[in-house]
Amino acid sequence: MDKTKTLILIRGLPGSGKTSFAELLSEGGKYPVFSVDSYFTNKDTGEYQFNYKENHLAYKECENNTKLAMESSMEKVFVDNTFTLDWEMEPYFKLASSYGYSVFILTLENRHSGENVHGLTDEQLLKMAKTYKLELLPERLREKK
């Protein structure tokens, strides 16, 4: 794998600061940042309007934009999503493998009392937190837990 090409997945619950952190890491837009949320954000007004019926289209657009950036050999590519479930990251692992990218996963905690801007209820956030899984060990050691 070419160590100069890197895919960074930024994950965390809504309100953890994923988008702000991704923008910071992108060095003022030098490197692309993709997100499922972008699909639901009006480019002119910045207003976010989620539509569950189009969620699958948002995931596809984010994956496709990531693929296009990798095809053009961008040095760094950032994807900022909740990634609470493993299946949400799988397409990005496959893309990274296909295009020779190293993958790093950053998980953000909400220790700054950030509020989610998506209108999720406390119950929805608690449900997401329960399904959130961290893998701190390399695969070879996970079976020994």
- Structural domain includes residue 111: yes
- Structural domain includes residue 38: yes
The ranges of the chain with pLDDT < 70 are 1-3, 145
**Domain that residue 130 falls in:** 6-142
- Position 142 scores a pLDDT of 78
DSSP 115: P
- Position 51 scores a pLDDT of 87
The helix/strand/coil state of 83 is coil
Where would I find the beta strands (DSSP E) of the chain?
Answer: 6-11, 33-34, 76-80, 102-107
The domain that contains 12 carries what CATH number? 3.40.50.300
- Structural domain includes residue 124: yes
Of the chain, the percentage scoring pLDDT greater than 90 comes to 59
- Structural domain includes residue 1: no
**CA gap 18, 82 in Å, rounded:** 8
- Structural domain includes residue 122: yes
**CA gap 47, 106 in Å, rounded:** 26
Cα angle 129-65-23, degrees, rounded to a multiple of 5: 60
Tell me the sheet residues that pair with 106: 10
- Structural domain includes residue 21: yes
Report which of 36, 138, 35 is spatially closest to residue 78, judged by C-alpha positions: 35
Q: Residues 72, 35, 136, 129: what is their CA dihedral angle, to the nearest 10 degrees?
A: -170
Which residues make Cβ contacts (< 8 Å) with residue 17, sequence separation at least 6? 108, 110, 112, 114
Report the predicted TM-score, pTM, of the whole model to 2 decimal places: 0.88
| Number of domains comprising the chain | 1
- Structural domain includes residue 110: yes
- Position 140 scores a pLDDT of 83
